[in-house]
Amino acid sequence: MFSDPRLTNFIANTLALLAVLAMIAGAVVWVAQRPYFHIAQIRIAPMQTDTLNYVSTATVRATIASKIKGNFFSIDLDDTRELIETVPWVRHARVRRVWPGELFVQIEEQQPLALWNEDQMINTWGEAFAANQGELDDEAQLPQLHGPESSERLVVQRYAEIARWFAPLSLRVHEVTLSPRYAWDVKLSDGTRLSLGRDPAADMADPHGRSGALPFAARIERFVQAWPVLNDRLDGRAISYADLRYPNGFAITLAPVSTPPTK
């Protein structure tokens, strides 16, 4: 079998090549495991803005350092990114290697738009997230939004629409509530509470499948257009509650008149 010199040379050359490749592979593995390639530095930067307002870089580093696995060559960047995104106030993260032993982390922060239900917030993308509300700026005046599970985007959309309607009246929306039966209630900055009834546009998400009597925006528009006349006729009396669910109008309840103290 081995009397053919060409076959013998081929086998010998193949074995020699395999031996060289094994030596090279072993050398590469040995070099890759040297302390020189350990992750010695984690650099953190904001993804879009100039500064991080809510995310603590110390918390991010501590989260990575205690759980990071591997060195410059073997670290799993996807696992590291998912780990960083568990840190409060982090919406998204990007991670890349920087030679020879550095991780460069870019962070996109949550941008709080409103408080959501009991202990969450909603960001400007209409996504719910959990974070310490005590870390909000003292000047932050976030509206309170309530709604069933998975209704965040719908509630944010309706909040924005209602806010635009009442902005010309110098009124802000303090609270919006969407009930499990997809009926809407609103509280304005002057204390007025509005009952808007059902939203026909939400019927696709409504398990009860019942339509509202009047388009959502039409009920608000009717009330907003009547607001100046109402104020003139009420002669300074405040409205505590308005029911906009009627097909041809709305009903209002006036706030109690405060009696001035007598001497």
The pair of three-digit structure tokens given for residue 210, joined into one six-digit string: 């019942």
Task: Note the pLDDT tens digit of each residue in 40-84.
Answer: 888 999 998 788 999 989 989 888 887 877 788 888 999 999 999
CB 169 within 8 A of CB 152: no
CB 244 within 8 A of CB 222: yes
Q: Once rounded to an integer, what is the mean pLDDT over residues 235-260?
A: 87
Closest alpha carbon to 155 in 119, 134, 186, 130:
186
Q: Is 118 helix (H, G, I), strand (E, B) or coil?
A: coil
Q: Which domains does the chain possess? A: 37-109 (3.10.20.310), 112-202+213-254 (3.40.50.11690)
Task: Note the pLDDT tens digit of each residue in 86-122.
Answer: 999 999 999 999 988 889 999 999 999 999 999 999 9
Q: How far is CA 228 from the centre of its chain?
A: 37
Q: Once rounded to an integer, what is the mean pLDDT over residues 211-215?
A: 56
- pLDDT bucket at 220, cuts 50 / 70 / 90: very high
Q: Once rounded to an integer, what is the mean pLDDT over residues 19-42?
A: 63
- How far apart CA 203 and CA 34 sit, in angstroms, is 62
Q: Once rounded to an integer, what is the mean pLDDT over residues 226-250?
A: 90
Q: Once rounded to an integer, what is the mean pLDDT over residues 194-222?
A: 68
